[in-house]
Amino acid sequence: MRLEDLPGRPCSVAAALNLIGEKWSLLAVREIAFGNKRFDAIARNTGAPRDRLAARLRALEAAGVITRRRYSEHPPRYEYELTEAGRELRGVLTALRAWGDKWAIDAPPPTAFEHGCGHDLDPVMTCRHCGEEIDPDDLRVRVTATGWTRQGPLPRADPAR
Amino acid sequence: MRLEDLPGRPCSVAAALNLIGEKWSLLAVREIAFGNKRFDAIARNTGAPRDRLAARLRALEAAGVITRRRYSEHPPRYEYELTEAGRELRGVLTALRAWGDKWAIDAPPPTAFEHGCGHDLDPVMTCRHCGEEIDPDDLRVRVTATGWTRQGPLPRADPAR
DNA sequence: TACATCGGTTGCGAAATCAAACTAACTCGG
DNA sequence: CCGAGTTAGTTTGATTTCGCAACCGATGTA
């Protein structure tokens, strides 16, 4: 993706959404990550219309997020797998799931994961360098294409309101 | 959001995407997180069509992600701010940006952040309990609504391919 | 023979999206 | 006072995408 081809601020978030931001794309990735490799299972578990799903799977393949492998000739049958890029998308899914658990549903989380350490997964974003939990209020913009964002600290939560 | 109202697997990821998965929504949140509170700035920096942006901002407000505050009567003028839910979305943006930096663009990251510890931000998702980096291959599905996913380990990366 | 499975494609109407123009109420400079 | 600019949208009309249902062909199963 060429950043210049995106409207607005040159930004990896926009570039990422260009690849995986269409409706059903991330849910398809979720299903494949769950081990559901086949078209029918992905369609059933996401609820996506079959024609839209077919289009999304092609786009995800073109984006390098999944591969399509024929496991039968006559009739041709395919299964989908995550590429390295697709596998790394699971982190995005984890962040989204954590947010959704907290803010998008009123019931307890419908899906939980057990981490290798034996406890239920409770993900935290940390700084690889210092190991501390990342407080987004504690970040400064360091580099951007000129003209798009002034350098300096990001706005903080305003405790007055 | 009632999970029963979603098509497919009951899932917080789907519920989250229902709130913030439409086109331009996350980019609008990104801009507000950057401190751009006004309609025109958000429109300019995202590249979103103004009518779409107006619709998205209303939807984000209804979803509880942003607030709309009048800063002028006559003419009525508004500015947008993140709610607590919106501020916690910054973690999703961080995950998405990290993925996009690596997989969605060919150039070096257009935006970097400096963490409080003095180094460039390099986010890692860790387990709150044991502090270890989360390897998505090291997760087992612990609970889901019955019928949707067998319990047990998730498929691993297949080293044979 | 009849039906089910699988991985789609096709056709079609409904809905969402887009760029551009327009509105309305102000402010500022001269 | 005049004209230009700012701000936050709304309107318009064309384009694109979406969602649904039906269909298809090759095979396997009862």
CA–CA distance, B124 with B114 (Å, rounded to integer)? 15
Task: Decide if B160 is inside a domain.
Answer: no
Quote the pLDDT of residue A160: 38
Asked whether residue A23, judged by its CB, lies under 7 Å from any atom of the DNA or RNA strand C, the reply is no
| Mean of all residue pLDDT scores within chain B | 90
Residues on chain A touching B97 (C-beta within 8 angstroms): 11-13, 16
Least confident stretch, A37-41, A148-152, B79-83, B95-99: A148-152
Number of domains in chain B: 1
Task: Decide if B31 is inside a domain.
Answer: yes
Residues 17-56 of B with CB under 8 A from A: 17-19, 21, 23, 26-27, 30-31, 33-35, 44-48
CA–CA distance, A35 with B65 (Å, rounded to integer)? 32
**Which is it for the CA torsion B51, B82, A102, A126, positive or negative?**
positive
pLDDT tens, position by position, A109-159: 999 999 999 999 999 999 999 999 999 999 999 877 767 776 778 877 654
Quote the pLDDT of residue B10: 95
Domain hosting residue A81, numbered range: 3-153
Task: Decide if A161 is inside a domain.
Answer: no
Q: What residue has token string 């920096």? A: B45
- Strand D nearby residues, CB < 7 A: A 22-24, 48-52, 55, 74-75; B 38-41, 50-51, 54, 57, 68, 75-79
What lies within 8 Å, CB to CB, of A51 at 6+ separation is: none
CATH code where residue A131 lies: 1.10.10.10
Task: Decide if B161 is inside a domain.
Answer: no
Quote the pLDDT of residue B150: 63
Task: Decide if A160 is inside a domain.
Answer: no
Quote the pLDDT of residue A159: 43
Task: Decide if B35 is inside a domain.
Answer: yes
Smallest CA-to-CA distance from B91 within A118, A155, A94, A56 is with A94
Tell me, yes or no, if B5 comes closer than 8 A to chain A by beta carbon: no
